[in-house]
Amino acid sequence: MELLISLIIGLLTAVGVFLVLRGRTFPVVLGLTVLSYAVNLFIFSAGRLVIDGAAVLKSGLATPDPVPQALVLTAIVIGFAMTAFAVILAIRARADLGNDHVDGRLPEQSGEQK
Amino acid sequence: MNHLITLPIILPLLLATLQLLPVFEKSIERQRVISLVGSLTLVIVSVALLMSASAGNVTLYALGNWDAPFGIQLVGDRLSSLMVLLTSLLLLSANLYASAGDDNQGRYFYPLMMFQAMGINGAFLTGDIFNLFVFFEILLIASYSLLIHGGGKHKTSAAVHYVFLNLVGSAIFLFALGIIYGTLGTLNMADMALRVRELNESEIQLTKIGGMMLLSVFALKAALLPLQFWLPRTYASAPGPVVALFAIMTKVGIYSIIRVQNLIFGDSAGALTDLGQDWIWVLALGTLVMATLGVISAPSVKRLAAHLVILSVGTLLVAVGFGSANSLSAALYYAVHSTLAGAAFFLIGDIIAEQRERSFDRIVAGRSLAQPMSIGILFFIAALTLIGMPPLSGFIGKFLIMKSIDSSSALVWAWPLLLIGSLAALVAFSRAGSTLFWRSNGKPDSSKASATRKFIAVGILLSAAPLMSLFAGPITQYTDATVEQLQAFEHDPTQIMAKGVQQ
């Protein structure tokens, strides 16, 4: 299970980083979202993975560390708010600057158009 | 428990919320009164906190009455009290400046300024590293909105870069926290300092990765070399009073570096002692070079001010990277000086842009300023202190830093770069000053004069330059004691672990 979780986190991070490096705002926002999924899973697994553990507390059963779960909740809320802000800003930039490139202007060659 | 320490966080929060109520939301006049009175109260609270800290007391506050490693705690020591006072002073001047009319260009100016101050103060006061992340996000989201206050193409396109960059930074921050929590099993900074000493071989490697990632996030906030390219454009496009408060933002990054380097990765951390210190040193020297080039090539006053911020970051981190007690103490003195002088210069640039109409703050010949005399005097004082000429605080700050870098191998690199940086600032200021004030056409048009309170705001910030030079003795005593205190915490972290009140 550790392998599976780490592969998922790795894949999500790779996708997120790739998308963040794109030239237009929409893929970048998507990339940030995917990256925040990877982050959330990563923090969640920082408290060690437990199978068949007690949901809260039960004698004789292993209990997962509750702190990362609290951290993840905070990170999700913050990530959500920030993504919302980034979306609004991207729309505003599209309206103000007339294009959706992160630099505010299209590059000279249209080679990287997608 | 002493509840005073919560006020720098709670007061801005309450005032900001209050201003969103219908009674105040509709009236900018009422918001101005609340903000000015509020920020003045904050200054008083911070002075009280500083007085208590300078008497040697460390205020520990266990939130929710949870004992230290389990609950979040606030730590009011000498370092954090000093930084909180600095924030309050900036907030007061920025609000005073904005109350002359800049606050009316967009909605919710004052509530956002208050939220930003809350985030900055929280970041300085917290003793929990995840809480530090949360306060970073609070100050960032307020700064995102403030950055585009008033609107306009330049602001939007600069904000896109700033926001995306910081969102990636936050993601890396969280990854780092995840790794560190995975190995250390705690988020309380004092507890982390204890746990770091008992790591086994494989955990040390992981913690090293986490620590370096953390350092790179702080370097992004502080604008250290490869991560400083966002700053000039962002700061030059932001409205004047906003960027005056932003002057403390790079210092939040530097503060975090100092805190983490001296508490968690301090002398007792075994294999992790001074993690990344060599990197900070080398990159800070590189930052100085880049900033020197930037200062010489700056096309406008605000760009010049932004590159000077980077120059001060380089200077500060050279001292932090050198890592002796003296250099750290000198860095703290320089941090206070450069924040106040930098903020003042941004406001001066804003006044110049306002009075010159079409040529704005670009360093080109243009229409005469409406008040060349008073602006000229302020510009001259700001220039002197930012270049580092005697007798003002810039000279003493730079002198202390150069004096503290006393090993010959380090000196060969640091001294020339620091001095060339000053020379570049001198050249840039002479060019800007002579162009702005002498190569102008037309008579001063007094109908375009700026409001007196703008000059008072700049005056408050600039008065620090002679005052810090006059009281350099007591201030350096305070910073020396601050460094001693940091070392004592590093030696025995349990003394900054808060205990809840026993019922």
CA distance B132 to B153: 32
pLDDT at A52: 79
B124: three-class secondary structure by DSSP:
helix
In A, which residues are within 8 Å of B122 by CB distance? Answer: none
pLDDT at A58: 76
pLDDT at B364: 84
The candidate with the shortest Cα–Cα distance to B53, out of B82, B31, B11, is B82
The candidate with the shortest Cα–Cα distance to B91, out of B166, B8, B29, is B8
Q: Which of B144, B171, B181 sits opposite A46 (nearest CB)?
A: B181
Helix (H) or strand (E) holding B75: strand B73-76
Q: How many CA atoms within 13 Å lie on the side-chain side of A7?
A: 4
pLDDT at A113 over 60: no
Amino acid, single-letter form, for residue B495: Q
How far is the alpha carbon of A31 from chain B, nearest alpha carbon, in Å? 10
Structure confidence by residue, pLDDT tens digits, A29-65: 999 999 999 999 999 888 888 887 777 777 777 778 8
Bond prior to B372 in cis (omega within 30° of 0) = no
In A, which residues are within 8 Å of B141 by CB distance? Answer: 81-82, 85
Q: Are B215 and B257 in contact (CB under 8 A)?
A: yes
Structure confidence by residue, pLDDT tens digits, B68-109: 788 899 999 999 999 999 999 999 999 999 999 888 888 889
Q: How many CA atoms within 13 Å lie on the side-chain side of B441?
A: 4
Bridge partners of B62, per DSSP, are B73
CA distance B395 to B389: 5
How far is the alpha carbon of B323 from chain A, nearest alpha carbon, in Å? 32
In B, which residues are within 8 Å of A67 by CB distance? Answer: 181, 187
Which of B164, B187, B203 is the mutation pick for testing A, counting most A CBs within 10 A?
Answer: B164
Mean pLDDT of the residues in chain A: 87
Tell me which of B503 and B275 has the higher pLDDT: B275
pLDDT at A10: 95
In B, which residues are within 8 Å of A102 by CB distance? Answer: 160-161, 164
Asked whether the beta carbons of residue B171 and residue A39 sit closer than 8 angstroms, the reply is yes
Asked whether the beta carbons of residue B167 and residue A42 sit closer than 8 angstroms, the reply is no
* Residues from B in contact with A at Cβ < 8 Å: 130, 134, 137, 141, 144, 148, 151-153, 156-157, 159-161, 163-164, 167-168, 170-171, 174-175, 177-179, 181-182, 187
In B, which residues are within 8 Å of A68 by CB distance? Answer: 178, 181
Query: What crossing angle do the helices spanning B325-355 and B372-387 adopt, rounded to 10°?
Result: 160
pLDDT at B218 over 90: yes
Q: Which of B130, B157, B167 sits opposite A93 (nearest CB)?
A: B157
pLDDT at B370: 84
Q: Is A111 exposed, middle or buried (0-12, 13-18, 19+ CB in 10 A)?
A: exposed
CA distance B201 to A82: 37
The number of angstroms, rounded, from the C-alpha of B263 to the middle of its chain's C-alpha atoms is: 20
Residue carrying the six token digits 């403390």 = B248
Task: Kindly report the pTM of this predicted structure.
Answer: 0.93
Percent of chain A predicted with pLDDT > 70? 95
Q: Which of B141, B157, B178 sits opposite A82 (nearest CB)?
A: B141
pLDDT at B131: 94
Asked whether the beta carbons of residue B163 and residue A36 sit closer than 8 angstroms, the reply is no
In A, which residues are within 8 Å of B229 by CB distance? Answer: none
Confidence of residue B503 (pLDDT cuts 50, 70, 90): low
Q: Which of B156, B174, B179 sits opposite A93 (nearest CB)?
A: B156
Kindly calculate the radius of gyration of chain A based on its CA atoms and give it in whole angstroms.
19
Asked whether the beta carbons of residue A86 and residue B177 sit closer than 8 angstroms, the reply is no
pLDDT at B235: 92
pLDDT at A110: 55
Which of B174, B191, B192, B207 is the mutation pick for testing A, counting most A CBs within 10 A?
Answer: B174
How far is the alpha carbon of B278 from chain A, nearest alpha carbon, in Å? 28
Neighbours of B434 (CB within 10 A): 11
Asked whether the beta carbons of residue B174 and residue A103 sit closer than 8 angstroms, the reply is no
Nearest chain B residue (CA) to A78: B137
Asked whether the beta carbons of residue A89 and residue B181 sit closer than 8 angstroms, the reply is no
Q: Is B81 exposed, middle or buried (0-12, 13-18, 19+ CB in 10 A)?
A: buried
Q: Which of B151, B160, B177 sits opposite A25 (nearest CB)?
A: B160
Under 8 Å CB pairs connecting chains A and B tally to 87
CA distance A17 to B176: 16
Q: Are B490 and B266 in contact (CB under 8 A)?
A: yes
CA distance B489 to B446: 56
- Residue B153 structure tokens: 């193409």
Number of residues in chain A: 114
Confidence of residue B152 (pLDDT cuts 50, 70, 90): confident
The mean pLDDT value for B297-317 works out to 94
Q: What are phi and psi of B75, to 5 degrees?
A: -120, 115
pLDDT at A114 over 80: no
Extended beta strands in B93-180, E state: none
pLDDT at B460 over 80: yes
The number of angstroms, rounded, from the C-alpha of B86 to the middle of its chain's C-alpha atoms is: 8
Question: Residues 83..102 of A with a Cβ closer than 8 Å to B: which?
Answer: 85-86, 89-90, 92-93, 96-97, 102
CA distance B318 to B339: 17
In A, which residues are within 8 Å of B148 by CB distance? Answer: 89, 92
Confidence of residue A111 (pLDDT cuts 50, 70, 90): low
Q: Are B152 and A16 in contact (CB under 8 A)?
A: no
The mean pLDDT value for B115-134 works out to 94
